[in-house]
Amino acid sequence: MIKNAAQTNEPPGPDTSILTKGDVQAADWTPESVLSTMSHRPQENTDSPLPFFHILERLKTTKRAGWQRFDIDNGESISDHMYRMSILTMLAPPSLSSRLDIPRCTKMALIHDMAEALVGDITPVDGISKKEKSRREAETMDYICKRLLGKVGGGLSGEEIRRIWQEYEDSETLEAKFVHDIDKIELILQMVEYERSNEGRVDLSEFTRVGTRIELPEIKAWCDATIQERNQFWDSTGKVPRSHLKK
């Protein structure tokens, strides 16, 4: 199932659509595919950070796509998701925080989905391979960190953002593994919140699978407690959630 950009994102204006899914053949996608459609194309190779600041607005206006298959159309944006994740990193229990560079984790949470400003939120149902998704994201981060930020403050901030994004992507350090788990628990929290606010009319069971891939025991405990809350909620409705799509 491939949704077009208009269905899965709400970009700022009609001429700034995120061309990612059905619109551009997978291997043809470049940051240019999106930039060429923008009425206010950000200036490159300048010492001003403003073009980058404006690109970040797209994270506020692009919705997380996974919920829209369940008719949750006014749901969270990508930056909503990254904001709560960044706060969660600051609440790491002592058994984790004693082993982690927490400020780096907080930065990683704020940066990890930045490429979606141009790439959009690609979900497993979009038919785009992991490798292709990661190619688009890496090219977008190069565009942001080099072409937009390369001359800002000597390029140091751009280099740091690019490095932290790569660390998350490689998922080898404890910090990166922790932030990957935080990415998952943030989704589980949101799943329960949408089910509650829709008073049991929306069954988001399929997202519970994400929780089973959490690795660190401390975050697994947060997930288990959240799933307990969820079970209590469904018990209170007298309904039994099932793992099937609404449509």
**CB of 37 or CB of 86, closer to Zn ion:** 86
Write down the least CB distance from residue 31 to Zn ion, Å: 20
- Rounded to the nearest 10 degrees, the angle between the axes of helix 78-90 and helix 50-61 is 100
Does 113 bind Zn ion (CB under 5 A)? Our answer is yes
Tell me the DSSP string of 144-196.
IIIIITTTGGGGHHHHHHHHHHHHHHHT-SHHHHHHHHHHHHHHHHHHHHHHH
- Total site size for Zn ion, rule CB under 5 A: 2
Tell me how far CA of residue 141 lies from CA of 44, 112, 160, 174, 245, in angstroms: 14, 10, 11, 22, 34
Pick the piece of the chain touching Zn ion (CB under 5 A) from 6-14, 163-171, 182-190, 197-205.
182-190
Write down the least CB distance from residue 141 to Zn ion, Å: 14
**CB of 38 or CB of 105, closer to Zn ion:** 105
Site for Zn ion in 44-73 (CB under 5 A): none
Q: Exactly one of 175, 183, 195, 203 binds Zn ion (CB under 5 A); which one?
A: 183
> And the tokens for 99?
């082993």
**CB of 17 or CB of 190, closer to Zn ion:** 190
Nearest residue to 143 via CA among 18, 28, 27, 35: 35
Number of C-beta neighbours around residue 203 at 10 A: 18
Pick the piece of the chain touching Zn ion (CB under 5 A) from 51-59, 107-115, 163-171, 236-244.
107-115
Write down the least CB distance from residue 77 to Zn ion, Å: 12
Kindly list the residues in this chain that would bind Zn ion in the complex (CB under 5 A): 113, 183
